[in-house]
Structure 1
Amino acid sequence: MTDYKSPIIVIGHKNPDTDSICSAIAYANLKSKISEEHYEARRAGHLNEETQYVLEKSGVKHPRYIKDVRTQVKDIEIRETPGVSRNISLKDAWTLMKNDNVVTLPITIGRNIEGLITIGDIAKSYMEEYDSRILSAAHTKYKNIVATLEGTLIVGNEETYFTEGKVLIAATTPDMMENYIEPNDLVILGDRYESQFCAIEMKAGCIIVCEGSTVSITIKKLAEQKKCMIITTPHDTFSVARLINQSMPINYFMKRDNLTTFHTEDFTDEIQQVMAKKRYRDFPILDANGNYVGMISRRNLLGSNRKKLILVDHNEKNQSVDGIEEAEILEIIDHHRLGTIETIAPVFFRNQPLGCTATIIYQMYKENDVEIDKTTAMLLCSAIISDTLMYRSPTCTAVDKQAADDLAKIAEIDVETYASEIFKAGSNLSSKTEKEIFFQDFKQFSFNDIILGVGQINSMNSNELLEIKERLIPYINTMIENNNLNMVFFMLTDIMTESSEVIYAGNHAKELIESAFSVKCVGMSAQLKGVVSRKKQLIPTIMESLQQ
């Protein structure tokens, strides 16, 4: 059996920021060093320019994108049933099925699936009444006939095929045989010299001599002259007549059209519906390139493995990768408020009131006495700089600042200079569409039956923020109906002035902002001085106002 066991996935939220990505990469690296399991950082969304800049600067590849973490075929044990040639005999196919305890054999050419044959197809071939020309109609190879009858080829070439004529038993006198033997026929007979001679003279294509009888030199020479093959077998005439149809190649009986195949990337809940409508027990699995991998059955679905995840920088279901409810969550590492993630079993949960998830990851490296290399240090330091707006955010703590300073020394970077580069890369928004800007850092939050969408961008250029505001105000209204949200807020945060302008849409959004922050809204926006943190300032204040 082949187990396409996926690594344990370390992943952030759907609209990943620098903290989400860098923390996932660093934590996957840590977990791989302190355990025997394999961990892989993945991303649930598009990387913004700031994060792309950080990864490029650090020399780290982008984590692979994963849209949905539902169970896939590759998460199941796939049975490595070897593919067989279309030319093997029914008997050989039966033997393989019995030895491997399978009911379906895949017929392949190289790594390409050509067809399938089931134990039912073989049984049907034994039970159906076929005419005496079925063996030649199936283009049966003489090698198959020899092997099936446990015989020996005396005259002829076993690599040739029986393609014309019928199969018959010479049970009468030579005079009678002359009336029904035709050219190219395959004749089953005994040790009688006269019958053998007659069959060859009548231009039979092959004679099968039963019960291990000796064939005379004269008959051999005559057969060679007349181009008639001779096979001897230890079986009696009745057994040969019963066995010979088992020498037919499986390609004559195999199913080759409209095959139901699945791919390793297919989701099990979707293929289960297809399986239920088919009468077959086993189905071929192909890889991404269409190459045959193995077989699965309905029973395999019962033992499918959920994907194993570690969530970083979030614990809200609506921020998580699609299919999260079908995955097995092992750990959650976060610095936000407690959200709506539910787990089947107890998990390791670490949530600290810090400015950045990367600070927690830094602590865990220290706690496990694992050395932080220069690349990892740059990733973690970048995340802290980004999430705390270079220590300006009220979420930033002394622990965050100390961690960033320590990491900067390892990474050999100047924090202020590097921070300026990061924010400059992230604030290059003029070439982006309204949708790209809006979802660059967008999260959903639930409060009772109310679903809020909150986006944020940070910039060091106030003129750029003003231009973006004018573009987003017409766009923000479309977010309500297209995303089933009650209210939407978007923070345009000026890093230099340490303030934000928030634009909004939705019923009561204006009243909520005015009452929550004691400000006056003008033209679908409000100025919030000193408010730069979505997590610690905007969301808690809005939630408190909603509660009241």
Structure 2
Amino acid sequence: MFKEKLVIGHQNPDTDSICSAIGYAELKQKQGENVVAARCGKLNPETEFVLDYFDLPAPKLVTDVYTRVSDIMEKSNLKSVLPSTPIKEVGELLEQEAIKVIPVVDKDNKLLGIVTASDIAHRYLQELAVESLREVPTSLENIIQTLDGELINNQQDLSSEVTGNIFTGAMDTETMCEYINPGDIVLLGNRIKAQEAVLEREISCLIVTGNLEIKSEVKDLAIEKGITVIRVPYDTFAAARLINMSIPISKVLSTEVEKFYPDELVEDVKEEIINSAHRSYPVTDRQNRLLGLVSARNLIDVETKEVILVDHNEKSQAVDGIEEATLVEVIDHHRLGDLETLEPILVRNEPVGSTATIIAKLYFEYGVELSVEIAGVLLSAILSDTVIFRSPTCTGVDKMIAEKLAEIVEVEIEKFGRRLFKAGSVLNKLEPRELILNDYKEYKFDEIKIGVGQIEIMDLAEFKEMQHNILNVMNEVKKESGNDYLFLLVTDVLNEGSLLLYNQTATSLVKRNFVGEEEEVGFYLPGVMSRKKQVIPVLSKALID
């Protein structure tokens, strides 16, 4: 599977931004690419209406594209063990997988600690001298597993702890029995008399080595005494060494271990990872469930997120972290901004009224069939951005593409457009701050920063009832954002004009450069419908000059 790419619009997304992302992601998917539509802000009422009307889900919310631990951690072949796992089995797993660290988890996959190859090597050296399991008890189940044993008879709970001494039958029977106590473990060959003698001592377990035959009288006596008998393929010496490796890994693991969360920024944790004592560290969720491992090796040639931008190409409008991501394409209809790339990328920038127009053109150019749903959202975006063809940004291409899409969707353009704008009216749905920031973009001209919001309404008179309150909130937003000027363009769709609200500091700037009528609050601009084509160029020229 190819690496996932995100196609995403600008912050405070409008209908064109959202629908273009959906449409372009669908086109890329049909061309065999792993592309997912995303958004970096909540949907406005108009866009919600469009997606509900055409029964499409909202793109997934992406708050930033910074590289996070989840992007670099190893998770595809993640190995872990339970705390009851014998040391020998864990050591074999480390060798087979050529890994140095393995997490230990409980039955719910919650992290208990980690074990390294050096932990096991150190423990092995310690256990060579162990003659008793009292300090580090194990279970018969682990002993059978570690010694590749065959259970001849089972007289007790195999999972319960065994804590007796370990004896090998290297001395004569009489002398050996002087040292053996009830509950001990004895390793013997096929010395029948010795086997019977140790069973009479009520040991915990008899281990017969070398895969030797066990006589029926020995089995019967073991059953009578309630003693478990195990047969193993190793000789007595090898079995004696290995039995200490049946100790559960819980006796070895490091519980005080540094871990990371998947949402942590790589930039914030890389020094800690590089300077760590362990080669790898576990990654868990907030409920301590194991998700992966991360190491210094993962920081070499880090793969950043691949992003396709639609409906914008300026850093100030892009999703947070865009400077760390790999920008692979830009599809837009605005002026070229300030984003830079290390390698050539595909840029499709056309002087049309909507990015959705370009996306639809690509479908036609590539001969890819448009579904009713995708045609519907692209048509909606065109009507929204061109204000049902009333905006001066609207071109003949926008109208031609919109008519083709309307045929697919089977709607009447003017009627559907009016319904779209009515559904998208935000006056009675949003608080003043939300109105200002609903479709808001920031620009920088030399050292001067400005913010310009826009709302489109059907009745300017209704807006004027709340304009004083909105102007007060604009002053707050200007102060918080650090912008030199803040504007709000309130566009009257039906009467084809806009009321421009601004902070007091921008009064002379507006009066010198715009032609219109001064209102009680703001400046009315007849015929002005487009922020991009009729407002930003005027402000840009005035502020740069």
Q: TM-score, normalised by structure 2?
A: 0.90
Give the aligned partner of residue 484 of structure 2: 486
1:429 to 427, 430, 441: 427
Measure the CA separation in 2 of the matches of 1:12 and 1:57: 21
Q: How does 1:84-483 map to 2 (within 5 A)?
A: 84-110=81-107, 112-115=109-112, 116-128=114-126, 132=130, 135-157=133-155, 160=158, 161-193=160-192, 195-211=194-210, 214-256=213-255, 260-263=259-262, 265-273=263-271, 275-276=273-274, 278-286=276-284, 292-483=290-481
2:56 to 48, 54, 60: 60
* SS class of match (2:77): coil
Give the aligned partner of residue 8 of structure 2: 11
Is 1:513 equivalent to 2:544 in the alignment?
Answer: no
Partner deviation per Cα, 1:414-435 (whole Å, 9 max, x = no partner): 1221121111122241242111
Measure the CA separation in 2 of the matches of 1:139 and 1:269: 44
Measure the CA separation in 2 of the matches of 1:382 and 1:528: 26
Code of the aligned partner of 2:224: Q
Q: Compared with structure 1, are the counterparts of its residues 275 and 509 closer, same or farther at alpha carbon in structure 2 (3 Å cutoff)?
A: same
Q: Compared with structure 1, are the counterparts of its residues 127 and 374 closer, same or farther at alpha carbon in structure 2 (3 Å cutoff)?
A: same
* SS class of match (2:499): strand
* SS class of match (2:64): coil
* SS class of match (2:465): helix
1:261 Cα offset (Å): 4.9
Q: Compared with structure 1, are the counterparts of its residues 330 and 468 closer, same or farther at alpha carbon in structure 2 (3 Å cutoff)?
A: farther
2:18 to 18, 21, 40: 21
Q: Do the aligned residues in 1 keep the contact of 2:425 with 2:458 (CA within 8 Å)?
A: yes
Identity of aligned residues (%): 37
Is 1:69 equivalent to 2:65 in the alignment?
Answer: yes
Measure the CA separation in 1 of the matches of 2:69 and 2:243: 40
Q: Compared with structure 1, are the counterparts of its residues 195 and 75 closer, same or farther at alpha carbon in structure 2 (3 Å cutoff)?
A: same
Q: Compared with structure 1, are the counterparts of its residues 53 and 182 closer, same or farther at alpha carbon in structure 2 (3 Å cutoff)?
A: same
Measure the CA separation in 2 of the matches of 1:427 and 1:219: 91
Q: Do the aligned residues in 1 keep the contact of 2:516 with 2:526 (CA within 8 Å)?
A: no
Q: Do the aligned residues in 2 keep the contact of 1:505 with 1:524 (CA within 8 Å)?
A: no
* SS class of match (1:336): coil
Which deviates further from its counterpart, 401-410 or 279-288? 279-288
Partner deviation per Cα, 1:474-515 (whole Å, 9 max, x = no partner): 111112231121211111122233222212227x52222122
Which deviates further from its counterpart, 409-418 or 210-219? 210-219
Code of the aligned partner of 1:244: I
Measure the CA separation in 1 of the matches of 2:229 and 2:288: 44
Is 1:47 equivalent to 2:46 in the alignment?
Answer: no
Measure the CA separation in 2 of the matches of 1:270 and 1:337: 35
Unaligned runs of 5+ in 2: none
Q: Do the aligned residues in 2 keep the contact of 1:136 with 1:162 (CA within 8 Å)?
A: no
Measure the CA separation in 1 of the matches of 2:133 and 2:78: 28
* SS class of match (2:407): helix
Q: Compared with structure 1, are the counterparts of its residues 396 and 244 closer, same or farther at alpha carbon in structure 2 (3 Å cutoff)?
A: same
Code of the aligned partner of 1:229: T
Measure the CA separation in 1 of the matches of 2:132 and 2:45: 69
* SS class of match (2:179): coil
Code of the aligned partner of 1:316: E
Measure the CA separation in 2 of the matches of 1:422 and 1:454: 23
The alignment covers a number of residue pairs equal to: 542
Partner deviation per Cα, 1:208-261 (whole Å, 9 max, x = no partner): 344555555444433332233334445444333322111122233234566725
Partner deviation per Cα, 1:324-374 (whole Å, 9 max, x = no partner): 111111111111111111122111111111111111122212211223332
Measure the CA separation in 2 of the matches of 1:368 and 1:166: 78
Q: TM-score, normalised by structure 1?
A: 0.90
Measure the CA separation in 2 of the matches of 1:547 and 1:259: 52
Is 1:36 equivalent to 2:32 in the alignment?
Answer: yes
Q: Compared with structure 1, are the counterparts of its residues 520 and 424 closer, same or farther at alpha carbon in structure 2 (3 Å cutoff)?
A: closer
Code of the aligned partner of 2:340: E
Measure the CA separation in 2 of the matches of 1:190 and 1:253: 31
Which deviates further from its counterpart, 134-143 or 301-310? 134-143
Which deviates further from its counterpart, 434-443 or 78-87? 78-87
Measure the CA separation in 2 of the matches of 1:325 and 1:157: 67
Code of the aligned partner of 2:57: K
Kindly report the root-mean-square deviation, in angstroms, between the aligned alpha carbons of the 2 structures.
2.8
Which deviates further from its counterpart, 509-518 or 393-402? 509-518
Is 1:531 equivalent to 2:528 in the alignment?
Answer: yes
Q: Do the aligned residues in 1 keep the contact of 2:154 with 2:227 (CA within 8 Å)?
A: yes
Give the aligned partner of residue 547 of structure 1: 544
Q: Do the aligned residues in 2 keep the contact of 1:262 with 1:271 (CA within 8 Å)?
A: no
Q: Do the aligned residues in 1 keep the contact of 2:354 with 2:398 (CA within 8 Å)?
A: yes
Measure the CA separation in 1 of the matches of 2:242 and 2:400: 83
* SS class of match (1:503): strand
1:187 Cα offset (Å): 2.4
1:453 Cα offset (Å): 0.5
Q: Compared with structure 1, are the counterparts of its residues 105 and 166 closer, same or farther at alpha carbon in structure 2 (3 Å cutoff)?
A: same
Q: Compared with structure 1, are the counterparts of its residues 528 and 92 closer, same or farther at alpha carbon in structure 2 (3 Å cutoff)?
A: same
Code of the aligned partner of 1:336: H
Code of the aligned partner of 2:311: D
Code of the aligned partner of 2:445: F
Measure the CA separation in 1 of the matches of 2:20 and 2:149: 69
Q: Do the aligned residues in 2 keep the contact of 1:79 with 1:295 (CA within 8 Å)?
A: no
Q: Do the aligned residues in 2 keep the contact of 1:445 with 1:451 (CA within 8 Å)?
A: yes
Code of the aligned partner of 2:544: Q
Measure the CA separation in 2 of the matches of 1:522 and 1:279: 69
Q: Compared with structure 1, are the counterparts of its residues 380 and 56 closer, same or farther at alpha carbon in structure 2 (3 Å cutoff)?
A: same
